[in-house]
């Protein structure tokens, strides 16, 4: 027996030696990492037509039904396949007309919106427009889009059988309840005035309604497609967008080709776009650096640091905050967080600068409920939550616990490494003010269930991403007492303040933009003072694209919006300056020291 063990360990040592020799051999002959783009553009100044643009996501797409899809991934395709009546300007967040001739007329003090359609919009050619779609082999000509399509589409989306997650954004339309309850066959507030004009009447004036009309839920769709395919329409999109679906291999890739009937002449520029699915961050970055894909939007911390250090990529990358907020939610109906001082103590004890360092500096510390990308954000908001142990300790004293809280408190987190990591950061920070934290990790569905149920989850790391770019989408949903429910509560802090409610209600109908924003700022100030959340950060996201990809910058609202890009082809391969192959740095297999 001892001899076997000895021969095993000798074998192990020799094996290690062999491995070391192999590794050394590879390191000696391995080419260096490219630090600059492999391909540059041809140098055209004017937009060029043609080429194939390749983008990717690490998830799998569920479908392209604009009335059902409510995720980043599906929207990347939907923005190519469909258009809405109105949309956001890429740089300014302003609403601009798309299928509509102009922004809608507002009548009766913002109670009625009148949309007029362009007269040159057609649905893309598709078999659903043939007399017998089942038998058709070739697509038939798409028909003109009319006001009747706008009405049909909205009613289809609002119908209970459709199960659209967007319904709540439209509940202000007159006749909504009657239609949902099945008492009316049409929504009385949606009226077709003539073939190109449609009018929408609300129950009460609301300035956020136009944001709802810019969401994909309001996009006009062809009723023929829904009649032909039923729920399967998500796999057979028929839209008015720049591209049509050419091929879809589930889990692998989606191929879009130019819609020849697109209403903007000469657009879109690339002939095709390929959406590579299920491509993880690590191989995506490698393929990007090889010139196989044209855009990346997520990186591991290691890749992020590496790519950021490459100066040659500087003109082709942008780092910007997401329109999201993250914070530590405290249940205002549960002891000890019924006491405002206790909540404030926690909010100011969170050492967020340390969090940022721990997350490769990819956090923007905001300390307030309105994200930095939205109007209403105030960089100098009085009382915003920024790490201050003295304030935290003083608040602990005011709460009656100068020596710390006697019992451990539980924080409910979702599963996964990142959640665990944040849980531990909270745990370490609160120890400084004498609060012991126990971390409980549950799966995301259970997390949703528990944090949305009254008197269940005491603390939880909360986050919210915008549905539309307006402060109301954060404040109304997360902090209005109307958003409190016994189960599935959106106001997961169960925070209720009549003063805040009143300000938010007033802002919702206020037509004067400046006054509206000042109301949101005021609400924001009260909310940070009451601290239902310890407000922390927004995520920063770095996007990169190839030098030959032109006219791309991150869209203010839609992530990964590639409708308007053009390709500066033919691309030129750049000779990468090779290091002398046998230099000492080349011996380090994974990245040369800088």
Partner 1 sequence: MTELILKRVAAGLAIVFAATAFIFILANGIGDPAVATLGPNASPERRQEFRVEHGLTDPLPVQFGRYVGAAVQGDLGRSFRDNQPVTTVIANRLPRTVLLMGMAMSFQLLFGLALGILAALRRNTWFDTGFMGLAFLGISIPSFVSGPILLMVVAFRLGWFPIGGYGVTALDHVVHALLPALTMAIIGTATFARIMRSEMVDTLGEDYVRTAKAKGLHPARVVLSHAARNALLPIVTLLGLRLPFLVAGAIITEEVFNWPGMGRLVIESITSLDVPVIMGVVVITAVAVQIGNIFADVAVGLLDPRVRQARG
Q: Of the candidates 338, 418, 436, 443, which one interacts with partner 1 according to CB under 8 A?
A: 443
445 binds partner 1 (CB under 8 A): yes
- The answer to whether 273 touches 243, Cβ cutoff 8 Å, is yes
C-alpha gyration radius of the chain: 28
The per-residue DSSP string of 3-15 comes to HHHHHHHHHHHHH
Crossing angle of helices 281-289/301-309, nearest 10°? 20
State the minimum distance, in angstroms, from the CB of residue 110 to partner 1. 25
Distance of alpha carbon 174 from alpha carbon 5, whole angstroms: 82
353 binds partner 1 (CB under 8 A): no
Considering only residues 476 through 505, tell me which ones interact with partner 1, judged by CB under 8 A: 485, 487-488
Considering only residues 563 through 592, tell me which ones interact with partner 1, judged by CB under 8 A: 589-590
Q: Of the candidates 232, 438, 499, 512, which one interacts with partner 1 according to CB under 8 A?
A: 232
Selected range binding partner 1 among 41-49, 127-135, 247-255, 381-389, rule: CB under 8 A: 247-255
Residues 6+ apart with CB under 8 A from 297: 541, 542, 543, 559, 560
Residue nearer to partner 1 on the CB measure, 99 or 279 = 279
- How far is C-alpha 489 from the chain's CA centre? 21
State the minimum distance, in angstroms, from the CB of residue 243 to partner 1. 19
Looking up tokens 């640091």 gives: 305
Residue nearer to partner 1 on the CB measure, 245 or 519 = 245
Distance of alpha carbon 412 from alpha carbon 457, whole angstroms: 6
62 binds partner 1 (CB under 8 A): yes
The per-residue DSSP string of 534-553 comes to EEEEEEEEEEEE-TTEES--
Residue nearer to partner 1 on the CB measure, 457 or 531 = 457
Q: Of the candidates 25, 50, 250, 315, which one interacts with partner 1 according to CB under 8 A?
A: 250
Considering only residues 447 through 466, tell me which ones interact with partner 1, judged by CB under 8 A: 448-449, 452
Considering only residues 271 through 330, tell me which ones interact with partner 1, judged by CB under 8 A: 276-280, 282-283, 286-287, 289-290, 292
Q: Of the candidates 28, 60, 335, 499, which one interacts with partner 1 according to CB under 8 A?
A: 60
The values of phi and psi at residue 526, to 5°, are -65, -40
State the minimum distance, in angstroms, from the CB of residue 83 to partner 1. 23
For strand 52-56 and strand 272-276, is the pairing parallel, antiparallel, or unpaired? parallel
Phi-psi region of 552 (alpha: psi -120 to 50; beta: other; left: phi over 0): beta
**How many residues bind to partner 1 according to rule CB under 8 A?**
59
- The answer to whether 432 touches 389, Cβ cutoff 8 Å, is yes
Could you tell me which residues are beta bridge partners of residue 202? 173
Considering only residues 9 through 48, tell me which ones interact with partner 1, judged by CB under 8 A: 10-19, 26, 30-31, 33
Structure token pair of residue 244:
């049509």
Binding interface with partner 1 (CB under 8 A): 7-8, 10-19, 26, 30-31, 33, 60, 62-63, 70, 160, 163, 165-168, 231-232, 234-235, 249-253, 276-280, 282-283, 286-287, 289-290, 292, 443-446, 448-449, 452, 485, 487-488, 589-590
């Amino acid at each position: 027996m001892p001899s076997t063990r000895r021969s095993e360990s000798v074998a192990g040592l020799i094996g290690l030696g062999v491995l070391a020799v192999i590794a050394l051999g590879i390191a000696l002959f391995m080419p260096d990492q490219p630090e600059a783009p492999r391909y540059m553009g041809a140098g055209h100044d004017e937009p060029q037509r043609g080429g194939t643009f390749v983008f990717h996501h690490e998830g799998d797409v569920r479908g392209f039904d604009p009335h059902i899809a409510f995720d980043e991934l599906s929207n990347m395709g939907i923005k190519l396949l469909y258009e809405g009546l109105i949309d956001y300007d890429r740089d300014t967040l302003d609403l601009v007309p798309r299928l509509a001739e102009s922004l809608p007329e507002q009548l009766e003090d913002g109670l009625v919106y009148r949309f007029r359609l362009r007269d040159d919009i057609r649905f893309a050619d598709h078999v659903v427009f043939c007399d017998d779609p089942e038998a058709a082999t070739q697509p038939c000509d798409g028909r003109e889009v009319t006001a009747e399509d706008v009405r049909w589409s909205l009613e289809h989306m609002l119908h209970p059988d459709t199960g659209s997650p967007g319904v709540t954004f439209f509940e202000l339309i007159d006749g909504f309840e009657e239609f949902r309850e099945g008492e009316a066959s049409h929504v009385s507030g949606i009226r077709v005035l003539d073939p190109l004009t449609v009018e929408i009447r609300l129950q009460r004036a609301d300035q956020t309604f136009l944001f709802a009309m810019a969401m994909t839920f309001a996009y006009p769709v062809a009723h023929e497609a829904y009649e032909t395919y039923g729920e399967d329409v998500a796999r057979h999109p028929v839209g008015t967008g720049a591209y049509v679906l050419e091929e879809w291999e589930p889990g692998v890739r989606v191929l879009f080709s130019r819609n020849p009937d697109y209403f903007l002449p000469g657009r879109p520029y690339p002939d095709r776009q390929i959406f590579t699915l299920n491509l993880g961050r690590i191989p995506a970055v490698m393929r990007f650096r090889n010139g196989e894909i044209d855009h990346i939007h997520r990186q591991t911390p290691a890749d992020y640091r590496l790519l950021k250090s490459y100066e040659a990529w500087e003109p082709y990358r942008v780092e910007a905050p997401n329109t999201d907020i993250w914070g530590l939610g405290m249940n205002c109906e549960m002891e000890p967080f019924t006491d405002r001082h206790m909540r404030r103590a926690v909010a100011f004890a969170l050492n967020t600068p340390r969090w940022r360092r721990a997350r490769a500096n990819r956090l923007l510390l905001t300390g307030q409920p309105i994200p930095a990308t939205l109007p209403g954000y105030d960089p100098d908001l009085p009382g915003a939550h920024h790490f201050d142990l003295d304030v935290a300790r003083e608040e602990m004293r005011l709460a009656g616990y100068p020596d710390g809280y006697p019992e451990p408190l539980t924080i409910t987190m979702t599963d996964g490494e990142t959640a665990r990591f944040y849980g531990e950061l909270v745990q370490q920070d609160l120890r400084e003010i004498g609060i012991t934290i126990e971390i409980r990790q549950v799966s995301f569905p259970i997390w949703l269930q528990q944090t949305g149920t009254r008197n269940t989850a005491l603390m939880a790391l909360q986050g919210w991403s915008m549905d539309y770019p307006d402060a109301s989408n954060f404040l109304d949903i997360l902090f209005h007492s109307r958003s409190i429910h016994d189960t599935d509560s959106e106001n997961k802090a169960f925070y209720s303040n009549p003063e805040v409610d009143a300000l938010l209600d007033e802002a919702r109908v206020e037509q004067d933009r400046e006054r509206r924003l000042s109301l949101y700022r005021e609400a924001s100030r009260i909310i940070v003072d009451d601290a239902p959340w310890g407000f922390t950060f927004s995520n920063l996201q770095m996007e990169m694209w190839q030098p030959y990809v032109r006219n791309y910058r991150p869209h203010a609202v839609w992530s990964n919006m590639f409708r308007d890009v053009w390709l500066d082809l033919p691309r030129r391969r750049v000779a990468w300056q090779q290091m002398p192959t046998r230099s000492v740095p080349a011996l380090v297999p994974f990245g040369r020291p800088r």
